[in-house]
Amino acid sequence: MIPARAGGAIGVESDSDSFTDFFKHHYPRVIAMLVVHRRFTEVTAQDATAEAMTRLIQHWGKVQAPQAWVRTVASRLACQLAGSQQQVGLPEWELIDQRSAQDLAAAELALAAGTAIGALPRRQREVMTLTLVDMTPSEIAEILGCTPAQASANLAHARRTLRNAMRMDKEA
C-alpha cells in the first residue's frame, strides 16, 4: 500500500498507519544494529532508538529517507547516552529479540569477521559497520562528517584488509 498524506484516498494508509508500520518493522532492527554492529548495551540501544523514533514522528512526512534518518539519529543518541564509550568485544548475553539480529543479512558476516572488523582502524571500522546496515557512502559521509569520496576510500581499505585477513585465516 502507498502511504497517503493529508486528505489521502479511502483504502490508502494514513500517515499514522504508515509510521506504525515503519516503527514495527524498523524499531527492532535499529536496536539490533546498535547492539550487534556498534556494540552498545541493549539498554542504551533501546533508549536511543525510542528517542530517535519519537523525533522521527515529529518530522514524519518531511523526512525523505526515514530508515537512514532514524539509524543516524539513533547512532548519535547512543554515542551521547554511552558517553562515546562502546563495549569492547561482542555482547556475552542473548538479545531479547534474536530474530531481529538474524534479519540483518550482514550480522552473520559481521560475526564471522568480528575480530577482523574489530582490528580495523576506527574510521574504517565505522564505515564498514555502517555499510553492513545498508548505508550508502553519501549517508555514511553525512554521519561521519567527511566527503563521500573519503567514505568510499575508507570502505575500500577496510574491504581489502578484511579480504587479506580472511585469506590468512583460511591458510592457517
The rounded distance, in Å, linking the Cα atoms of 131 and 151 is 10
Query: Given this model, what pLDDT does residue 89 score?
Result: 44
What are the residue boundaries of the structural domains of the chain, listed by start? Answer: 1-90, 104-172
Q: What does the pLDDT look like over 108-147, one tens digit per residue?
A: 554 555 667 777 888 988 888 888 777 889 988 988 889 9
Under the banding of pLDDT at 50, 70 and 90, the label for residue 95 is: very low
CB 111 within 8 A of CB 90: yes
**Is 50 exceeded by the pLDDT of residue 86?**
no
Least confident window among 19-28, 90-99, 138-147:
90-99
CB 52 within 8 A of CB 74: yes
Q: CATH 3.40.50.1970: does it fit domain 104-172?
A: no
pTM for the full predicted model: 0.47
Cell of 45: 540501544
CB 74 within 8 A of CB 143: no
The rounded distance, in Å, linking the Cα atoms of 53 and 68 is 12
**Is 80 exceeded by the pLDDT of residue 155?**
yes
